[in-house]
Chains A and B, each alone.
Chain A
Amino acid sequence: MRGHNMTVCARMRRDLGLALLLLLSAAVESDGMSPPGKPVFLGCRSPEKETFTCWWEPGSGGGLPTTHRLYYEREKLEGTHECPDYHSAGKNSCFFDKDHTSIWVDYYLTVVASNALGNATSGHFKMDVMEIVKPNAPENVTLQVMKREDNPYLHVRWEHPHNTDTKSGWVTIKYELRVKHRNNNEWKEYTSGTQTQFNLYNINPGEMYVVQVRCRLDHGSWSEWSNSTSVKTFNYPQNDKPFWILVSALSTVPFLTAMCILVIKRKYVKKVLLPPVPGPKIRGIDVQLLKRGRSEDVSNALIINQGFPSVPAWKDEIEDYLIVSDDVLLPDPHRKKKSLTVAAGFHLNLEIQCKESLGQRDWEKAEERKNGIDTFPPQLPTQKQLCPNVTFVHAEATDQRWPIHDAAAESTVQLLAPTGYVDIQRHKSMQEEADGNEMDYTRVNDGNILILQKDKFPGCMDVQRQEENIPEDYSRVKEVDGDNKVLLQRQSFSADSSCGEKGTPYTDCTNKKPINPHVPGPSKVELIGSGYVDTIY
């Protein structure tokens, strides 16, 4: 019996132990206690072609503290080496500094994970530094809206990643940037080459722009995009525009209206703005006639000129001739004579033509003395004719003799020569005849004689000689009457008291006898110059 009980107890103890053992082993397994899982290489990267870092991923932990080790072999380098720096680049990484970095040689890397229970090795990872170059993103990206007249643009600036060497040519950095609107999702990319700045011209006002930049070394991998930098562009100054548009539109309408009116009324406007200027026109002169150019006609046209305005005599300068003659052989005023018209300002020798016969002779003689007659040879007296003595009017004008033409009805005359003077001649022989005929020194209005003044006076006047110290040839002026009359003092002379009044024309009596100083009447003589009137032989 006792033996049977013992067997049952042992069996129970044995079962219990087994159960415990099972339980224990089960417990152990549920904690993950195992050799480490196989680590996996994540990759390596060289930011500047001078150093590089490799990362791995540990495998399943195994529940126990696991250490990882990186071993590498390298071309042209003997032996296996361990990672020089596990910490600089963070967890599960290996950092190779400059001394441990070689380029254009292959590295063979392995990571070994080990824990209490065992090891695990990753596969070999072959790499060459030239293949794993990837720089950091560019730094300090700045955006500015530049205002340039009406075309604003965006100016983007950045710096190279701080750990890259841009001075030796070991690496050459190239940049790219991309832009988008704030609300948009479409990026537009631009290449910047090696420049660290860029201008964006196609921007719209009043929008928010976002810019990013990235770079790469030589022909390696592109870096990550930099952080977004954004800026808002200005709005157009729109307030002014509509106002000015309105102003210009409103002002256009009246302007156009004014232009229309001007165009329609252009003739009137022209008259107002540019009043017609009267051309020079001389009354009585026909321009066409002048153009035709027949000299006779021309001269006639120029001479026959009606209505010369009366010109006040330039007293100081003008010496008018007075026709003096004690020769009564003056043509009858009523006789028709040819009259001469003298235009003012013309230099001429006017000759009086009396009768034709006489005239001819006179003319002849006159012709001999064309230029400024001073003396007159006493030839005429012999003629004893009615012709008055030749009187010459010497004016300043040309020598040209003016043709005389019939002008029966024409009144003519005015002799307005500035220095017209009339010879006074003495004709002794005509003295006797002086009684009879009196020269009528009237205006040529009567058609006879050329006379200086404009008034008419019927008679003549005798010259009065004074007893004083007056040269024989001079007569003293007694007084001046008006504009054109000079009163001369008469000389007493024998017979002629029949000389009429007025007398600018005074006759120089050839009578040498003293003459009574009385004057039959006021005789008017033009006062000219110094009060003396020349008498000229």
Chain B
Amino acid sequence: MEPWNEIARKTLKEGDGSQKIQRRQTLGGGVVRGGIVQRCPHQRPARPSLAALGQNALPQHHTRPGTGRVMTPRPSMCHTSSLQTPSDKAQALQISGSDLLSLARSLLQAWVDPLVVLSDSAYTLPHPAHNSISNKIQELQEHSKILGDGLDVLSSKMGPEAQTLSLLPYTGNDIGQDRISKLINFHFLMSCFRRDSHKIDSFLKVLRCRAAKMQPEMC
């Protein structure tokens, strides 16, 4: 079984991926009122691409963790797993806007370096579609940058609480030497990235809906 082929094929599913990548747009300025940003939220992108990129890409794993033939890294080993994030709706709605923004920015910041690693290794990935993958990674980097800049502007208007960043350094500098390790590690990083992008998407949408009280179409 070649799960990697499957992953790549689904990863490059243009219909979902490209459109969503483009939705990562810059945030405009906003008015801070009571710690909540007004007026901007409608410009906030969903974090589509990253989340959707991997959504269909990762097949269901049927191997028991730790017992399969291949040592599949567990998601708890993502470098961002130490960040405390809400795990359900109730928790998420209790968090303040500033904290939500802070979380989003931290996550985004945490992926700057890993994306570089991914970008470098995608080109040499032992996969037939490594070129497309490489392109996609570059798109992801660009959009991440844009989104990060926008969030920085937003946080500067929200007050000091929003400015706090949690550092989540990425220590891995290599995805492996042999083919299998490369593919596995690549896949693992992509799945971590997908989850984190999904988190950022959700946090920002909650923030947006909260800020646009008079505009139900924002929710």
Stretch at the interface among B56-64, B134-142, B158-166: B56-64
Contact with A along B89-106 (1 / 0, CB 8 A): 110110000000000000
The CA-CA distance from A75 to B198 in the complex, in Å, is 17
Are A108 and B65 in contact (CB-based, < 8 A)?
A: yes
Q: Is the CB of A130 within 8 A of B46?
A: no
List chain A residues, Cβ under 8 A from B89. 49-50, 98, 103, 165, 168, 170
B149 within 8 Å of A by Cβ? no
In the bound complex, residues from chain B placing their C-beta under 8 Å from that of A126 are: 60-62, 65
Q: Is B87 an interface position by the 8 A CB rule?
A: yes
The residue from A98, A102, A131, A166 contacting B55, defined by CB atoms under 8 A apart: A131
Please, which residue of chain B has its CB at the minimum distance from the CB of A133?
B55
Q: Is B121 an interface residue (CB 8 A)?
A: no
B75 at the interface (CB under 8 A from A): yes
Query: What separation, in Å, do the CA atoms of A108 and B67 have in the docked complex?
Result: 13
Q: Which of B27-35, B171-179, B182-190, B206-214 contacts A (4 or more CB under 8 A)?
A: B206-214
Contact of B202 with A170 in the complex, beta carbons under 8 Å = yes
- Nearest Cβ on chain B to A146's Cβ, whole angstroms: 22
**Cα–Cα, bound, A194→B212 (Å):** 15
Cβ B51 vs Cβ A219 within 8 A? yes
Interface code B184-205, partner A: CB below 8 Å = 1, 0 otherwise?
Answer: 0000000000010011011001
Q: Say whether B217 contacts A104, CB under 8 Å.
A: no
How far, in whole Å, are A466 and B187 apart by their CA atoms in the complex? 157
Chain A residues with CB under 8 A of B51: 130, 218-219
B219 and A169 form a contact (CB under 8 A): yes
In the bound complex, what is the Cα–Cα distance between A310 and B41 (angstroms)?
105
Q: Does B74 count as interface, using CB distance less than 8 angstroms?
A: yes
Using Cβ atoms and an 8 Å threshold, which residues of chain B touch A170? Answer: 89, 92-93, 202, 205-206
Contact B60 A125 (CB under 8 A): yes
Knowing A76-B76, A130-B195, A170-B93 are in contact, say whether A104-B63 is a contact too (CB < 8 A). Answer: no
CB of B79 within 8 Å of the partner chain: no
Partner of A127, one of B60, B195, B205, B206: B60
Whether A219 lies near B55 (C-beta < 8 A) is yes
In the complex the two chains form, is A108's CB within 8 Å of B88's CB?
Answer: no
Q: Are A106 and B75 in contact (CB under 8 A)?
A: yes
Q: Which residue of A lies closest to B198 (CB)?
A: A130
| B133 on the A face (CB < 8 A) | no
The reply to whether A168 and B206 form a contact with Cβ atoms under 8 Å apart is: yes
Residues of A within 8 A of B76 (CB): 75-76
Whether B209 pairs with A169 at a CB distance below 8 angstroms is: yes
A104→B198 contact, CB < 8 A: yes
In the complex, A131→B53 CA distance in Å?
A: 11
Question: What CA separation (Å) do A101 and B16 show in the bound complex?
Answer: 26
- Residue A128 at the chain B interface, CB threshold 8 Å: yes
Contacts of A108-166 to chain B: CB distance below 8 A: 108, 123-128, 130-131, 165-166
Residue of B nearest to A48 (CB): B89
What are 24 contact pairs spanning A and B, CB under 8 A? A50-B89, A76-B87, A98-B89, A105-B75, A106-B74, A106-B75, A123-B63, A125-B60, A125-B62, A126-B62, A126-B65, A130-B51, A130-B198, A131-B58, A166-B219, A167-B209, A169-B207, A170-B92, A170-B93, A172-B46, A218-B202, A219-B46, A219-B48, A219-B201
Residues of B within 8 A of A (CB): 16, 20, 46, 48, 51-52, 55, 58, 60-65, 74-76, 85, 87-90, 92-93, 195, 198-199, 201-202, 205-210, 216-219
